[in-house]
Amino acid sequence: MKLADSTAGAVAQRHSGGPAVTAALDEMVLLEPVHVGDIVRTFAQVNWAGRSSMEIGVRVEAQPWGSAADEPLHVASAYFVFVAIDADGRSRPVPGLMPETPTEVRRLREAEIRRAHRLARKEEIDRGRRA
């Protein structure tokens, strides 16, 4: 989780051109066990960008120790929400996204679905607490 968060943070900082903090871990799925000695690598990209927040998708792969010729295993995926902040810790604007490839368009559409669910869940919980 730390590795995925660090990778997402690097991508968020690169996209936003400055500091960005983890605001939420939306979902993390663990698909395969990782064993001591496996070589782990991470890949991440900005799926969606709002005013100051970004959804970063992370893929974690592991190359099993002792079987370097095998294809790496997809062992985990996660979606983080990062918020770009200024020197005072307040949110600051980030560049928008211009998806070009079909994969980028798909990632953006799916990130919008997750964001809509996230907001709807929060709204429903808040309403229940006010009642």
Ligand X SMILES: CC(C)(COP(=O)(O)OP(=O)(O)OC[C@H]1O[C@@H](n2cnc3c(N)ncnc32)[C@H](O)[C@@H]1OP(=O)(O)O)[C@@H](O)C(=O)NCCC(=O)NCCS
What is the chain written as a DSSP string? -HHHHHHHHHHHHHHHTS-EEEEEEEEEEE-S---TT-EEEEEEEEEEE-SSEEEEEEEEEEE-TT-TTSPPEEEEEEEEEEEEB-TTS-B---------SHHHHHHHHHHHHHHHHHHHHHHHHHHHHH-
Residue numbers 12-31 binding ligand X by CB under 6 A = 21-24
Q: Which stretch binds ligand X (CB under 6 A): 38-46, 65-73, 77-85, 100-108?
A: 77-85
Least distance from C-beta 103 to ligand X, angstroms? 22
Q: Which stretch binds ligand X (CB under 6 A): 10-18, 32-40, 51-59, 95-103?
A: 51-59
Q: Which is nearer to ligand X, 61 or 82 (CB)?
A: 82
